[in-house]
Structure 1
Amino acid sequence: MAITTVVPPARNTLFTLVRGAMTGGVIGASLTALVVGTVIRSVPLFVTGLGVPAVYALLAFLAGVPRRAREAAIAPRTALAMTESVEAVRGEATSDVAVRFVSTVAPDQAPAYRVAFTQHVHLADLPDYRAGGVVVVQYPPDRPWQVKIVKRPTPEWEERAAGARIDSAPGPILTSENPEGNAVGFVRLLALLLAAAGVVLLFRTDLFDEDTSAEPPSSTRPPVSASTSSSTTVVTSASGTVTLGPHQSFLDQGELRKAVTALTQGTDARMGLTVVVQDRMLSVVYAHTGSQTPAFDLDSLPYERFPALVQEARSSLGDGSPQTWELTVERLTGSLAIRVGITGARGTAWLEADGDANVVRRTPAH
């Protein structure tokens, strides 16, 4: 005769689905928080990844306290059971083995029924549980499928088991092994993935933020509006310095003249001794009033032609390697001189121009 296994109905399908979703969400969020916290070096996020599952486990334990208290208050029933089959389902590293029993339970004042359950048995005790043998079992009155073999019954029940004979009961088999349905597994997996994606999305800026220390060439740099630009200006009686913020360059159109105007506006410092320009830094040394050192008018320099000079000096290297540049304006020899130095993997190339930004000398890299 074919044997049909009957699974006790779930207490609450909606509750089971919600619990599965919460468990999957906690697992996905905590694991992702640990990984993301490690990558972005965020201690609070890493600690959150450790703390969330611990808090969830504590809450789940506290929520189950009333149910466990009610179940513990109900005294279990004791009955005799005839073992129909014994099967070791999995071995353990210890001396205990998980054994699946199929038995006929014969309560004193209720019809006999068949049940399947799993219980750990010591290896030395396995010969005591053979097919056809009678043992003493206990089970909750409201959950007759949760059967457990009593390993050391009272002398009275041990005597009854020794002289009892129980026939196999007809009908289906109850089982305490209540596998979760496919819906619960799907909901748990979906919640896990959504929680993991939510954590990654929340910290996507920190995860995928590119290093802005390596500025792209000015020809490919996106334009920065005045509302988002930033710069730092420091002015003393002898010098002035302007430092641009990220994504800005003095090669951008009009940026250099605007910075020089900001340094000289509202002051008498119109004459300069030297001007040094780098990609994001401008330094000006002023000429003191009455000084005999050759100076030049800061407003008269051809700032609009400086980017072309830098680009021409760059082409003299032409090896595609990362390059740094510096433009210097001075009048130490009597005539205004503009010098551009480009440093790359092949060395330093120089370009010299006159006061009108006309190239007069080129020195290739060496």
Structure 2
Amino acid sequence: MIRLARGFLTGGVVGVTPSAFVTGIIIGNVPLLLTGAGLPFAYGFLLFLAGIPRRAREAAVVPRTALAKIESLRAGGAETGDVSLRFDLTIAPHGEPPFRAEARLDVNLVDLPSYRPGDVLVVAYPPDRPWQARIVKPDAEWARRAAGATVVSAPESTVVRKPAGAGAGFLVLLGFLLGVAAIVLPFRAELFAPSADASEVSESAEPTSVTSSSGSATVTVGPGQSMADAGELRRAVVGLAQHADVAKVLTAVVEEHRLSVVFAPTAVTAPSFDLRSLPVDRIPALVTKARTTLDVGSPQTWQVTVVPFAGEVTLRIVATGPGGSGSLGG
């Protein structure tokens, strides 16, 4: 029962952790983001504390020593001078029926010839957990027994393995799904709100649209207009300020027909700037300079990125054409 409950809780933590972290980033919810980042550490610590009594009981069990015959062995990867070998053993405890079990051992390349199918080794295992058998270095008495011993192979039906709790996999999956639902459902309105929940309005004679949400906004001008035209970018900024709070902007990107803005989350302290302080008069000149000095061929597309740095607003334009891309700072 404890194993099933632990599986359910583990599945819940696995579901909550990425859901809370990603949802916190998307909607700018810092407590939710911290929950996603800290929950696995807290849960791991609680599992460690809860496992102390069990580990103490297991450590108190005196291991049993027995002879074992190598039925087969397979080598794993060798990243160092040692090779990881997986042994299929027949273990023959004194006075009890033999049984099959697996064991692993890292063996130096020089010692590999010492392990062959049919050889007899010495193993130790907890009587209540025989699937945890391990190959040990014998003392003189057990080495003498192994040298002259013959172990009869046990049938494969006697293989011992760690028991798996019935329904554990289903409970892990159930916990995962409920964990995801516990995060996503309460915040579904913010996560899945349409991006155009503010409005689309006309700002000039040519079609101009403003689309804003809680985290970003876009101003688009018509095909006959350009953000590099005199006064056009200023009108875009003014129009956006009528529909969204532009006092805290993380970054702004100006393109031929579009101004895109990402807002700073309310509860997060990050470098930001007031979009209304954007040096709009410098951008057309920067575009003209890029078009005339950057040798990228024609036709060209351009993009100006605006970010706050050390208390100031910095501009960088990237122009792209048939000849590649180039950039300028302004």
State yes or no: 1:189 paired with 2:173: yes
What whole-Å deviation, never above 9, does each CA across 1:4-60 have from its counterpart, x for those lacking one?
A: xxxxxxxxxx33332222111101101111111222233322221121111111111
State yes or no: 1:104 paired with 2:90: yes
- 2:297 maps to what in 1? none
The whole-number CA distance in structure 2 between the counterparts of 1:114 and 1:212 is 68
Report the residue type matching 1:204 in the other structure. Answer: R
> Map of 1:58-137 to 2, 5 A cutoff?
58-88=45-75, 90-91=76-77, 93-108=79-94, 110-124=95-109, 125-137=111-123
Specify every segment of 5 or more residues in structure 2 that has no aligned partner in the other structure, as ranges: 211-220, 226-230, 233-330
- 1:41 maps to what in 2? 28
| Equivalent pair of 1:104/1:112 in contact (CA under 8 Å) | no
State yes or no: 1:198 paired with 2:182: yes
Identity of aligned residues (%): 46
| Equivalent pair of 1:24/1:190 in contact (CA under 8 Å) | yes
* C-alpha displacement of 1:180: 6.3
Specify whether residues 96 and 192 from structure 1 end up closer, same or farther in structure 2 by C-alpha distance, changes over 3 A only: farther
| Equivalent pair of 2:89/2:103 in contact (CA under 8 Å) | no
Aligned match of 1:145 in 131, 146, 151?
131
| Equivalent pair of 2:85/2:107 in contact (CA under 8 Å) | no
* C-alpha displacement of 1:67: 1.2
The whole-number CA distance in structure 1 between the counterparts of 2:50 and 2:141 is 39
Aligned match of 2:140 in 142, 155, 170?
155
Report the residue type matching 2:91 in the other structure. Answer: V
Range moving further from structure 2, 166-175 or 76-85: 166-175
The whole-number CA distance in structure 1 between the counterparts of 2:195 and 2:69 is 73
How many residues are paired up?
Answer: 215
Aligned match of 2:208 in 301, 307, 321?
321
| Equivalent pair of 1:101/1:117 in contact (CA under 8 Å) | yes
Specify every segment of 5 or more residues in structure 1 that has no aligned partner in the other structure, as ranges: 1-13, 218-313, 324-342, 349-366
CA RMSD of aligned residues (A): 3.3
State yes or no: 1:55 paired with 2:42: yes
What whole-Å deviation, never above 9, does each CA across 1:213-253 have from its counterpart, x for those lacking one?
A: 94456xxxxxxxxxxxxxxxxxxxxxxxxxxxxxxxxxxxx
Specify whether residues 137 and 57 from structure 1 end up closer, same or farther in structure 2 by C-alpha distance, changes over 3 A only: same
> Map of 1:1-366 to 2, 5 A cutoff?
14-88=1-75, 90-91=76-77, 93-108=79-94, 110-124=95-109, 125-150=111-136, 152-169=137-154, 172-178=157-163, 183-209=167-193, 214-216=198-200, 317=205, 319-322=206-209
What whole-Å deviation, never above 9, does each CA across 1:94-119 have from its counterpart, x for those lacking one?
A: 444443322222223x2231222131
The whole-number CA distance in structure 2 between the counterparts of 1:144 and 1:153 is 18
What whole-Å deviation, never above 9, does each CA across 1:146-178 have from its counterpart, x for those lacking one?
A: 21110x221221222122222223573232355
Structure with larger Rg:
1
Specify whether residues 203 and 95 from structure 1 end up closer, same or farther in structure 2 by C-alpha distance, changes over 3 A only: farther
Range moving further from structure 2, 70-79 or 118-127: 118-127
Specify whether residues 211 and 164 from structure 1 end up closer, same or farther in structure 2 by C-alpha distance, changes over 3 A only: closer
Bigger relative contact order (CA 8 A; separation at least 6): 2
TM-score w.r.t. length of structure 1 = 0.51
| Equivalent pair of 2:100/2:154 in contact (CA under 8 Å) | no
The whole-number CA distance in structure 2 between the counterparts of 1:92 and 1:200 is 44
3-state SS, counterpart of residue 105 of structure 1: strand
